[in-house]
A and B are shown apart, each in its own frame.
Chain A
Amino acid sequence: MSSEPQRPGSREVHDYTEEYGYHSDQRSLRRDPPRVSNQNQPQFDWISPHEEEDEEGSSGPPRDLRATPLPMALKRAIRQVQQMQVPVVSSRDSWKRKNAKSLRKLKDCGMGFLSFFSLWSKTLQKIGGNFGGGVQSYFLFLRFLVVLNFVSFLLIAGFVLVPSIVFRSVGAALVNSTGQEACMVYDPNPEGLVVFYNYFLDLLSGTGFMEYSYLFYGYYNNTMVEDKNISYNIPLAYLFTAVFYFVFCLICIIARMGTAARVVVATGSSTVGDYSMIVFTSWDYGCLGDRATKLKQKNIHYQLQVDLEEESIKKRAAALTLSQKIVLYSLRVSMCFVSYGLIIAAFYGIFAATEFSQVKSGQGGILGLFFEYLPSIVITAGNFVVPLLCDQIALIERYSPSTTVIVALLRAVFLRLVSLGVLLFTLWRQITCEGAENTGECKLCQYNHLLYPCWETRVGQEMYKLTLFDFLINIAVLVLVEFPRRMVVDNWSNKLSQWVGRQEFEVPANVLGLVYGQTVVWTGALFCPLLPLINTLKFILLFYFKKITLFHNCRPALKTFRSTTSTFFFLVVLLFGLGLGTVVMIYSLSEIRPSMGCGPFRFFPSMWSIVPTSFNNLSIITQDFLFFIGSQSFSIPLFALSCVVMCYVVALASVYGKSVALLRAQIKLEGRDKQFLVKQIEMLSRRQQILKQTAGASS
């Protein structure tokens, strides 16, 4: 083997494989030399050009050694060589190296410590190994929501709940009563003896003993505590905590989207198709268990078949005649109308149910409970029935399989989120007398004080009921549908049960359920401060229940769900939900008059108006500073600066895109150059051989 010429500055890994490309034998791919210097000249030469680039200390040899594709014995030999070089290298470099090494050890220790705290990591590993990345991404998403809700609860508890409890009996009212006497009538406590089962009904619907408690908005007081050392303005704290809660959730979601987005952007504009990726990257090496691997194989087979089928569909679609195309498109348009008609019918049903429920509120007993829960029941029924019908419609539309999945998902998302919006719209209509606040029953207090003496608590109760009902339905489906289905399929072996088969874990439908639950919490957090805590408990219990049903009742889905792009999609849908919650919050803060009988904002014209009032209590310097930030002389330069930064980032991104395209073209050229040179070498060697033969023959 001749020694390779040194190529300083080229990528080490690429170097290594190029060398092995030219020098590998059939016998063995790697050898185990006792010492580096004698046998493996190329590897030893490989390390020295890299040593010249040792100016960047922290990304130098110690880190690269782990990531080099060399056998262990070689790596240890190189490490020995490096260590022997330490006295030769300057003291500053060796200090840098030692620093980098200890920093790395510290980081590893820190990661180990943190992973101790990460919830359920062993469970998630097991799920991923047995059911694949798609199902695991659902459980990762659920864990993210649990942590988000818990941290938000800590925020709310720290700034609103605990001060309220502590300062309950002290503190002066912020603003004295200025409104009408009739508006301030609010008596949530039940009178006299209450039948025992009423407690249970009250627990489920948030009325009775639960209504006038820390759970709902109405219990918090309009107090401000001022002492020698501390002053705490509870209404202001309530407002700012609610706003900050939304901002905090937004930041968390965007931070989490960042990592997912990077992958999506990097692989997004790819000209490489699916086949090569399926063949080389679809096998999950972490797959455990005999059954799981067989299913994984079926899965890959199914994927390939789906891709082949999509190809043939595309070919057929391209070969359609004009009249057939017209028929197909008109069919699609009409089916679209049908599906939207279904969705609108569902919305009307929710609207009617909510109005009916509000009219009939106040009835006791089981019937009263039924009327209370009527909106939730209709929403859940709609969310269950309409997507089924939409799936059938999508089949008629004859899209390609991947498009069908996306279309069905988008319709289901639309249905779920907007149905919640319809419920809220109905409530708004009744609270503000259909927007005309100076007519009819709303004339006295600018809200319907007869129907809703404390409308915020009422809205909070609706959201509480939705959350609870969603949870109960999940459990009920588990117990009444999934377990019996498995028992029937396992114990009865006839044609029908074989055809029905075991439950599949449907990732998209389950994720939409999570997004819906979280959106309800966001909408209701302003009116029911303990709702994040309830949601944390609900999601924790849901995790365990879903895990149990996954392992006992489900078989892995035949259709895959790409785990990395799907995480991004889940977070985008979650952002829609956050948007809906934000709209509700902003509208309630600024447009509707707070109830005069309850809550920390009574006697204020709107919830937001406490901010200007408290603003005047700040010191002059702070006021001037805040005015300056809001003034033109600060915001216009800030805006200009952010425009400049954005232009820079966009330019950088386009430059990177162009250089990627250039490098790709360069790879092609180099390949052709290689082929050309190899042909030249062959020609030259043949000519040499011919010359030798003729010289030998002639002599």
Chain B
Amino acid sequence: MGNKQTTFTDEQLEAFQDCTFFTRKEILRLHGRYRELAPHLVPLDFTNRPDIRVPPTLIVSMPELKENPFRDRIVGTFSEDGLGNMSFNDFVDMFSAFCETSPRELKTVYAFKIYDFNRDSFICKEDLQKTLTKLTKGDLSPEEVSLVCDKSLEEADLDGDHKLSFSDFENMISKAPDFLSNFHIRI
């Protein structure tokens, strides 16, 4: 099986395989990608668990994330300090949540966190407006933005508090047929 790699101990690879949806080969490949971002910062040898964090500006320069309008929110959600400095654990976590085999429930949880800009665990109208503006890069007029946000809230808000809680969001996502295939980053 080619056990010549010295990046991780076998025990570490087992742990990664149990905690993410990646295989051995893919984890080693991810390590290669992580190291590419900052070769002088990230060591080749992870066996003694170095505590390295790559700053967000380097992470969002990856081709998979570069053009994503929500890249800052994604990186912020998955990083431990909330500011975007990602350790390798966070890096693997992020791509595991976005991979093809990750289940719908997991993706829904993370989608909610990404769209919750002010992190109050509700998606209020301002969060929606920011989401929509990022989506359309200012192509819509402010009245249209407001109209679409009002309509979205009207459709999805079940408990009538004019903001989306996680259960409202989850209920709405379960009706969307394209969610699983769209919420997927190929790495």
Contacts and interface: CB of A to CB of B under 8 A. Distances in A.
A362 to B, nearest CB: 55
A290 interface: yes
A66 B152 contact: no
Among B19, B115, B131, the most chain A Cβ lie within 10 Å of the Cβ of: B19
Interface in B99-142: 102-103, 105-106, 109-113, 115, 119-121, 128, 131-132, 135-137, 139-140
Given A13-B109, A21-B166, A66-B96, A285 B183 contact: yes
Contacts of A266: 174-175, 177
Interface stretch (B2-10, B35-43, B87-95): B87-95
A165 interface: no
Which DSSP category, helix, strand, loop or mixed, fits chain A's interface? helix
A71 B151 contact: no
A284 B168 CA distance: 22
A283 B151 contact: no
Contacts of B152: 275-276, 279
B96 to A, nearest CB: 7
Contacts of B110: 69
Interface residues of A, number: 75
Contacts of A356: none
A249 B166 CA distance: 44
Contact of A289 (B67, B174, B178): B67
B68 A300 contact: no
A94 interface: no
Contact of B18 (A18, A65, A263, A674): A65
Interface string B50-93: 00000000000001100111100000010011100000011011
Contacts of A129: 186
Contacts of A75: 19
Contacts of B135: 279, 282-283, 297, 300
Interface stretch (A216-224, A461-469, A629-637, A662-670): A662-670
A286 interface: yes
A290 B23 CA distance: 30
Interface in B142-187: 144, 147-149, 151-153, 155-156, 158-161, 165-169, 171-179, 181-186
B171 to A, nearest CB: 7
B120 to A, nearest CB: 8
Contacts of B68: 283, 285, 287, 293
Given A20-B121, A66-B21, A297-B139, A667 B178 contact: no
A297 B135 CA distance: 6
A664 B121 contact: no
Contacts of B183: 281, 285
Interface in A526-551: none
A304 B140 contact: yes
A14 B148 CA distance: 28
A276 B178 contact: no
A76 B67 contact: no
B159 A671 contact: yes
A72 B92 contact: yes
Contacts of A401: none
Nearest to A32: B80
A668 B159 CA distance: 5
A72 B119 contact: no
A280 B155 CA distance: 13
Interface string A605-617: 0000000000000
Given A67-B102, A286-B186, A304-B140, A280 B115 contact: yes
A263 B132 CA distance: 26
Given A280-B131, A285-B98, A564 B181 contact: yes
A272 B158 CA distance: 10
A276 B21 CA distance: 29
A275 B151 contact: yes
A565 B175 CA distance: 12
A298 interface: yes
B128 A287 contact: no
A289 B159 CA distance: 40
A667 B159 contact: yes
Contacts of B179: 280-281
Interface in A71-85: 71-73, 75-76, 79
Given A272-B155, A273-B155, A297-B136, A283 B70 contact: yes
A73 B135 CA distance: 32
Contacts of A280: 111, 115, 131, 169, 172-173, 176, 179
Interface string A264-278: 101100101101110
B158 A564 contact: no
A31 B111 CA distance: 20
A672 B185 CA distance: 37
A68 B175 CA distance: 22
Nearest to A290: B67
Contacts of A108: 23
Contacts of A304: 136, 140, 144, 148
Interface stretch (A22-30, A419-427, A583-591): A22-30
Contact of B182 (A32, A133, A264): A133
A637 to B, nearest CB: 40
A62 B80 contact: no
B145 to A, nearest CB: 10
Contacts of B103: 67
Interface string A132-170: 010000000000000000000000000000000000000
Given A21-B166, A67-B102, A275-B148, A267 B160 contact: no
Nearest to A269: B175
A445 B130 CA distance: 79
Given A71-B80, A276-B156, A668-B159, A283 B173 contact: no
B136 A281 contact: no
Interface in B4-33: 15, 18-21, 23
9 contacts: A13-B109, A26-B119, A67-B105, A272-B171, A273-B151, A286-B186, A287-B68, A290-B67, A300-B136
Interface of A: 13-14, 16-18, 20-21, 24, 26-32, 62, 65-69, 71-73, 75-76, 79, 101, 108, 112, 125, 129, 133, 263-264, 266-267, 270, 272-273, 275-277, 279-290, 292-293, 297-298, 300-301, 304, 308, 562-565, 664, 667-668, 670-672, 674-675
